[in-house]
Amino acid sequence: MSLFMDGPHAVTVTARSAVQLHVFDDAHNFFRSNTEVAFLIARLLAQRLNAATSYLVDLNQQFAGQDTHLAMVGEALQSLICQQYEEFMPGSDRDPGA
């Protein structure tokens, strides 16, 4: 995710078996020129986001109306749904006026 958000790396990964590793210096250009790879990464991120959101919705339904810290899940979900970063620019790179 740090590649797409221009932030520091958030995790360390340790391989449990032999792997083939590819190193590239410019992640932005790599994903722009390899749209199939970018699509696969976007799909994986969407699946993970869907799983996390579904889990939070389930928690919200289970603990709604209870006087515990889990009852705050609804507020957390709403905050995540409405959160937008300042750098977010809706529109199209092909048609900047859209």
Q: Cα–Cα distances in Å, from 91 out to 74, 80, 96, 97?
A: 30, 21, 6, 7
Q: Where are the domains of the chain?
A: 2-11+22-82
Please give the residue that has the higher pLDDT: either 85 or 62: 62
Of 48, 49, 32, 54, the C-alpha closest to 83 is: 49
Question: Is it the case that residue 88 has pLDDT exceeding 60?
Answer: no
What was the pLDDT predicted at 40?
A: 93
- For 30-68, what is each residue's pLDDT tens digit? 888 999 998 999 999 899 989 988 888 887 788 777 777
